[in-house]
Structures are given as structure tokens and as C-alpha cells.
Amino acid sequence: MGGNWLKVAIPLALCAALPGFAEAAGRSTVTFRDADSRDRIYYFATGNNDHLVVNYWDGSQWHWANHGGDLQALVEPTAVTYVDGPIRRTSVFVQRSDGHLGVNYWNGLSWVWADRGLPAGGFAVSPLDAVTYADGDQRIYVFCRVAGPLFPKPTLVVNRWDGNDWQWIVLGGAGGGDVWQASAITYFDESLGHQRIYVFSTGTISTHSLWVTYFDGSWRFKDLGLPPGSEPLRGPVSAISYVDEQAIRRIQVFVSHKVFSYEDCCPFGLYLWYTDGSGPHWADRGRPQPQWSGSLWPQVLKIDAITYRDRSGNQWFHAFGLLDVSYGSYYLVRNYSGGAPVSLPSWANHGPLP
């Protein structure tokens, strides 16, 4: 596993409360195996003091650290990690209080802050997801939602490191020009001989379906539609990519929807968009049975999906959902499937957050 990394969801029960601080926004987690074969986990979040905080596993125990900064409290960070020669680098992208994209990165000796600015015509960017890969030089793509005078609708933009400089690119056609949540994946397509990037997104008012923005030498946009009989898809989204037993590349995208009715305020459901040998499909993953006090149906704040093979070689899929069940009371649920024989999709309740 040396040199590889995986972005995962970590249940908050693994992390003790940071003394003097409480988590105010969402989180981003990276994990890798270091040069001494120790598993490292870094869990980044925005504290209620508007600082970037990290709960990290050093191979034997958990520690909290305050990385400082002046962040926008309700915007979650997004992190990537990669090997650059002899150095393991980690970069955490945030929205600063002035609306700029900021980055806190490990340069091999210490954590350093840098200002990545704004695209022309924007007054604030919210980082949504980031990917990185090696292509001669290291490539980093940070996908953000921008607001400003030139952007009447939330618009997808990317801050890209091409090995020499950082550049802003406005992806105006992404998500039908209306993007609120997004999840990015990347992999090398051997049939084409270059890297592929896919950004799956949902929108706000004018966009009702799941969209993909993808790079195959140039940026392209495609409407993936709605699940049969579904209401508009407006919730969080999380995408994963893996290679199956037949060495075929597969993509799975977990996305939530909200249904507004007179009986209950904001019920949600979970859908899966996936590819197989016969093309793309939708699957309804249903809803968890409420085992919490508060609202009848909660608001889903975040979805984070992972996939892995167990020691027997069986593929597993887990989609963690962070729910707001009653005005700031948070609850963690999980939808999972896999194993051998392959289990039907099931829900598990992980309980309220500490």
C-alpha cells in the first residue's frame, strides 16, 4: 500500500473532542502508509474558532493539532495527499474569511499557509473536492463553487496546478451552469493513454439531475438524468472508482434527494448511479429507519463513500451519511453492500455524534 492513498469517512466516535474547540463545519480525511510502514490518518475540520484543526493517528495514538488560519466557519475543507520524490505532501484547501481559496500544506518540514486567490469576477469560492495524480509533474485539481457578479448561479470552477503554476478555469457548462455539491475521481485510462477526471455534481434551483463534468483531453459536460420516479436531486454526492474481478473499471456515485411534503419537512433517500458491462444504471438504496429523536426525517448534510477488498478478496461498498436530525443534532448512518455471496444493500445506524 506504500505510496497509495484513499479518501475515507471516519466516524466521529473515533476522535475525542478537541479541548477548547468544537467542530463547526464538515470534514475531509486522508490516510496513507508512511516510510516506516505505519498507517497514518488525518482528519481535517473547521473549528468554531474559525481555525483549521486536525485529529491525526501517528501509528499508535490519536492527537489533536490547531493549524490556525482565518476560515469561513460553515465551509468544509477538502484534502489530498501524494508522494513527491522523497517527501509525502498533504494539502488542505479551505475558504478563507475573505472568500479566497486558501491552502495549508506540508512542505516536508512544516505546515505552511498560502493564498490561492479567486477567479476573475468572483467574490467567494467554496472548495468542494480535490484530486491529484502524477503526470511527469504532479497535477492537482481543486474543484470549487464560485459566487460573484459574473456568476448569477453557483458555478463550478477549478484551481489547477500544472507543475509550474496555479491557474483558474471556469467550467461554465458544468451541472447545467448550476452546481452546489460535487465529488471528483481520477484514474489512468490505459485504452486512451491519459488521465481521466470525473466530477459528479448536483445543483440548486435550475438543475434537477445528476451531472458529470469530465476531462478526456478537453472539458465536457453531460446530464446523467434522474432515477425513475425520483424528485430533484439536490443533496450531497460522493463518487468512487474501482477495478472489479474482471479487471474492468467501474464507477459508483451515491447521491441523496430531498422530498418536500406536507406530512414531513425534509425526508431524504439515497440513490446509486453505477456502471457495469451493459451501461449506466440507477438503484434506489432507500432510507434508514429513524432511530433518533427530533424531526421525523432529517436533512442529509454529507455523504462519503468508500470501497475496499477484505482479506478474502471480496469487494465492499460503504456510504456514510451525516444527518442533521433536529436543528444541530447530528447522527451517523451507513448504507453498505458487498462480500461473498454479495449482500443486499443494508442500513446501519452508528448513533448520535458525541
Higher pLDDT, 210 or 286: 210
> Could you give the CA distance from residue 145 to residue 178 in angstroms, rounded to a whole number?
9
What's the whole-number mean pLDDT along residues 19-40?
A: 59
What is residue 15's predicted lDDT score, i.e. its pLDDT? 37
| DSSP letters spanning 62-112 | EEEEEEE--B-TTS--EEEEEEETTEEEEEEEEEBTTS-EEEEEE-SSSEE
- 3-state percent helix, strand, coil for the chain, nearest multiple of 5: 0, 60, 40
Dihedral sign for Cα atoms in the order 258, 262, 263, 265: positive
Region 242-267: mean pLDDT is 71
pLDDT of residue 259: 47
Which strand ranges, in their side-by-side order, compose the sheet holding 137-148? 124-135, 137-148, 151-161, 166-170
Integer Cα distance of 283 and 327 in angstroms: 30
Helix (H, G, I), strand (E, B) or coil at 181: strand
Residue 274's pLDDT band, with cuts at 50, 70 and 90, is: very high
Q: Which residue has the higher pLDDT, 40 or 294?
A: 40
Whole-structure pTM value:
0.82
Dihedrals phi, psi of 263, to nearest 5 degrees: -75, -40
C-alpha distances in Å from residue 39, one per residue of 67, 80, 133: 21, 16, 21
Rounded-to-integer distance, Cα 109 and Cα 88, Å: 10
The residues pairing with 337 across neighbouring beta strands, listed in sequence order, are: 317
Over residues 67-119, the pLDDT tens digits come to 999 888 778 889 998 887 788 889 999 999 999 999 999 988 999 999 999 99
Number of H helices, E strands in the chain: 0, 25
pLDDT at 294: 55
